[in-house]
Amino acid sequence: MKINIYYGGRGLVDDPSLFVLEKMQAVFTELNIKYERFNLFEDKNKITTLSQTITDADAVIMATTVEWLGMGGYLQLLLDSCWLYADKSKISNVYMFPVVMSKTYGEKDVELAIIKSWEMIGGIAHRGVCAYVENTTDFEFNQKYNHMIEKAAEDIYRTVQKKRVPFPSSSLTIKNKVMKDFVEFTPQESKQLSKYAADDTFVKTQKKDIESLASIYKEMMTDEEQGGDDYYIDVLKKHFAGKSGYSGSYQISIIDKNKDISLDIDAQKLDIKYDKNPDADVNMRLKKEVFDKIVAGKITFHGAFMTGDMITKGDFRSLRMLDDLFTFNK
């Protein structure tokens, strides 16, 4: 028989849960029961992978101390990872006993929450040790309480050894309904996923990839709303004013959209198309964000060049003419 103990407290010296676990471990030693304790506050970066260790045990003890409200983040994270990554077929044979001590109100609620969570995951839940402790020292030196803890440890041994079956619970029915639309992974897939979830570098990379994809889709939607590929040419046509007696050629390259726009201007006539014109009087390179500001009248072509937002080669007098040829600010 093997028992895994998962301590979800903060490891404080006067934590009553630690005292209870030490007493129970002493009993397990006397009964020649193999046990292993995991302090989640020490393994907080590996909590997700600890769900894989549960399936190697015959029983587990989920221990925590209620310091202000609820079971605490470490133990909740462990239960979450069990739901997501643990081998449910193996957990169905694992007994769970909660150890919930409280220095404030709510130990019964937390004990019930742990039991319900374990049943939802599919394991076998039994009552463990649950108590309110006003003074840790008084609790530790109370012989009646010590005896009750030892008896609870012995009951854990008997329950697992005899494979006692609890009464049926509605939590199992709810679990089956919830799991209908839940994708079940193979044990190998679950183990690999739990490792990925515990890898901070992998998680950060995934978040960046998701943010990058979201940004790309957002830009695609914005482009579509603006008119797609026709937007760049249509907006220039719409605001073209022309100038009598002037002629010139321009190349506008929107670098982050891979768009090259060729403009040939002859007085009031504008010939515009997607094309490269290396012989243009002025060649301009800018990002779409800068292009949008120009066509919105927020900045001018010359202003974008002066601030360094647009790289320009060619006749700079012809560049200044662009702000007269197009009336974006009107």
Q: What is the pLDDT of residues 94-120, one digit of tens each?
A: 999 999 999 999 999 999 999 999 999
For the cut 70, the answer to whether the pLDDT of residue 79 exceeds it is yes
Q: Report the CATH number at residue 70.
A: 3.40.50.360
For residue 185, which phi and psi values (nearest 5 degrees)?
-100, 155
| Nearest Cα residue to 54 out of 2, 126, 125, 117 | 2
The answer for 116, left when phi > 0, alpha when psi is -120 to 50, beta otherwise, is: alpha
Note whether 55 and 91 are within 8 A (CB). Answer: yes
For the cut 90, the answer to whether the pLDDT of residue 24 exceeds it is yes
For the cut 90, the answer to whether the pLDDT of residue 272 exceeds it is yes
Average pLDDT over residues 51-72: 92
Q: Please state the pTM of the whole predicted model.
A: 0.59
- Which residues constitute the domain of residue 212? 199-226
Let me know whether 138 and 7 are in one domain: yes
- Summarised one tens digit per residue, pLDDT across range 34-47 is 999 999 999 888 89
| Nearest Cα residue to 13 out of 151, 187, 170, 136 | 136
Let me know whether 169 and 298 are in one domain: no
Let me know whether 148 and 30 are in one domain: yes
- Summarised one tens digit per residue, pLDDT across range 135-194 is 999 999 999 999 999 999 999 999 999 999 888 877 666 655 655 555 566 666 666 666
Residue 116 identity = K
Split at pLDDT 50, 70, 90, the class of 86 is confident
**What is the biggest distance separating any 2 CA atoms in the chain, rounded to whole angstroms?**
106
Note whether 196 and 142 are within 8 A (CB). Answer: no
Let me know whether 75 and 152 are in one domain: yes
Let me know whether 164 and 22 are in one domain: yes
Q: Exposed (0-12), middle (13-18) or buried (19+): which is 30, by Cβ within 10 Å?
A: exposed
User: And the tokens for 322?
Assistant: 């662009």
Let me know whether 44 and 173 are in one domain: yes
Let me know whether 317 and 213 are in one domain: no
